[in-house]
Structure 1
């Protein structure tokens, strides 16, 4: 209903514009150009692009051309006009108007059975939905455009370019789904095609896309190299917009490389151009990036101003990714300034934005469509192989039975291996997810949370504000680190040590700081370069405190010793001077409430998975320590794990 209403209103508006062309100041030379095009009725899209390209951003002229084409029943011309109007409003982030124009273009192209213009409309609709982060609809349109372009037997350069646009669009969808490896494959394929076609605009876009994926994968050097390639090609293209987008990406990489001052210089240079483009989405991106970089430089007031501007535009345009980023950075600023209530509000807004992004139905649909697409491709490949086998059979009749059986066996084995591999992958992913959830529950058990908050509450009751704020900051930082680390497979040793130090600080409150905790590490080990499984030490420290030190009188001591005795392995020793395992077991039997600890078992399983991934073994050895008189002197846990 809405679609038909829009079409009616659209025709009325365009008719009014056409009848008042002279009064509205439609230039005479443009009217002559439009008349000549309509009389010539060119068959291919490039003719319209060449003639009308300079006027494509002028909505009044495009609406006039559409109306004249409609009066003359010149459907291809009208389709071109509707498409350009849709792109114009898309660039202004007026997505609803853009979709309406593009939908009319697609409908007319379908009715006129014009495959080239239908491919254009499908791709432009895919781009519009992708910009709105409507993944399902974007994938539908790009895949239909790709299939239609591949059905044309002898495509010209124009169809090849549009086919490439569809490939690039599917790559962008993989990128939005954070499937960066697959995305890079599509972008590389698109880049090679654009290089063959001499399409500079497409080359710049693909270099930018590959750079973004490499940055997301942590390859900052590779990302910067591709951005430099984009700048190099753009010198020949001469696009100010591409220049701004590329330099924005370079600033993002520099910020991640802790070169905030250099990033700020680039962003301040491109900001005037970004404001001049009348593209609010691009401007919002630049504002948010500027705010982030300024916050890294501790220029919080300026950072807050840019972030609030970026957030306002993002909310007006409904851009969940930008809203999430802006709210997260504002949360960090308010935390740094001690404005905890404001920080909580920004954190809640960030979580809400993330929920908008994580639309399970869309993602499930996309994964199903991706799987279907891959299966269809394999079926096509099998059909091609089958036809080739038929030709071979005709030429070599004597070997036809052997070839047929061999081909069938190969297909069967391939399918069986693929099914087994997928089943193994799904089981492994399910097991890892279960372990991660169990690990998070063990790290964030209710006893620890309740006791920690209770201890901080005592400081507040006793009016010890400095201690309360000090330990509350440590507690919030610990919770945040545990939540962040729980989603990572491995982290630097330095971050793991920082987390356990926070954990020990919080636990020590309840022991009146009686526990003497220290880390002793060989000087040749660089903890920032060594990576280990995340949150691997905390269960052992928890055991040492609750089973070894909690019932001990006198000096309480825990040491973490870090050594590198064998190449490719690191040895971690957790040593305490507690009552020992034998005495701890006796005490445990006498307790009415027996606390079940699953942390060590979960840790063993996680270490097994970690070592299996890197084809190395790990060892856990638990020793009882005794003094010279043979009395228990504590417990020692020795972990020997592979490093990456």
Structure 2
């Protein structure tokens, strides 16, 4: 029985995420005045009524949306859609929830206001959390957190950081603690009790999880923290809209008392359970009600008071039956507990009766769970398909805009030409009748110039479209391919079959990786590192293992971050061709590659060092060298284009200090991290 409700408490902490995301757009009692319009305030007032008066809530929000559309204010319209999305989440209408969240996010791509984009990302994060798409939920909530942090909206940051903390649990305890503590910092700055309670519950969840491996000192620290949390909630109860969170605080504190030194503080344990049960009944929070009764029943069973435990579970069942809806999960949990009590009492007839009802509700619970899983899977598919369609429409719109601008440019040039020709013809008739042949020739020249200008415009467009194709052709040096295949052939002729097959597989894998990645807009850092390893190992084969390499990442670098593909390989190629290859035979080469993250500028810093001949010696050799570093030039062009969105994108190449750092070259590449 204890295990059932311990698991339930864990699920409770997971489900807190849904409650928290609902409040992530607004501190309802204190709205920060950072660019908040009257329409946004109206939508917020309607959203505040979602628990007490659903009809009024939707009516006010729809009115705010109509006003935003009437005023043609996209920023207000996006925020109204975001509020409506979260309201539909409260009403459990997944279809409408998806519609409003997707609409808010799509429209937010066409506005510049940071607050608006943050609201849209928060709504999408709530949607992805609801349909159990955790990776996408993290992406959207982290973006919302970053944007709200920019405008110092501390109340929003506190709640969203709490949500992020729950999403990282239990896979990454370090990040759970990191975002929970950041949530506490923002909550203190906001001075908002609602935000403070969110943040404290997130950090309290982390402290409770630590008890699995901690001792008495950790338990005492957790008890003190939750007592302070409960005191805060009671003091500001009238200012906290999410009453369920107050119940969660009571429930968590009671659970901590039950896990403490024996005998437990029975009075404190029961008092907090009663308060949690009262809130669960008053505000109809089923998961709190189920957990509170479960903990109390377990306590009574442990004391040997089986009769009271049985009456308590039956009371819980009767209370649920009095409500206008059925909770099959709750019935199954209570009948399971009643089975355990019947076994303790050795009442096997009661056990049979309870087991029959338990099987009935377990089957119903399973059907509901299966239906929910199928619904979420379908929602994830629809959301993904809609996102791809939105992306396709944006690309089509972008291309259409470019074509329009090109058409306007050509029309303008033609108009200027026509005006010029008319003027020339007018003056020719009046003043230069005797030069008719000369003017006809001039007119022909003007027409030719027009054709050349049009041709040049088209050629410029074609050059931009061919940039990515040239990138693909430049990724693998023909000399490198020829030498690698030659070395493999030599191994085969010498009957070194095993290494030959190994390197042939590496060459095949490298070719496939480059072909696949050149068609992608982004790849993970881990994919980029794997490609570099294959490329360098083939270069080692080509140069008879004349050099070694090292690839290292800082602890804070996540290998799942997305970056543009094939940016680093050209610099490795230069290091081998112009640095290590001309090196004297008695010097063993070394290439060092290091990655670290610049969180401030949202970029990845890649440092490449080699102990080759250096820049000065390499320039002298280039006079007779036929190798053309086309790929480096294209990489420079790609990074230059990225500077429109990320001004820090680019790279520098410099000589290493021989006295302090040794001979060779160091390359520092600033790569933008893409979301």
Could you tell me the TM-score, scaled by structure 1's length? 0.35
Could you tell me the TM-score, scaled by structure 2's length? 0.34
Q: Which of 1 and 2 has greater Rg? A: 2
Which gives a bigger RCO, structure 1 or 2 (Cα 8 Å, sep 6+)?
2
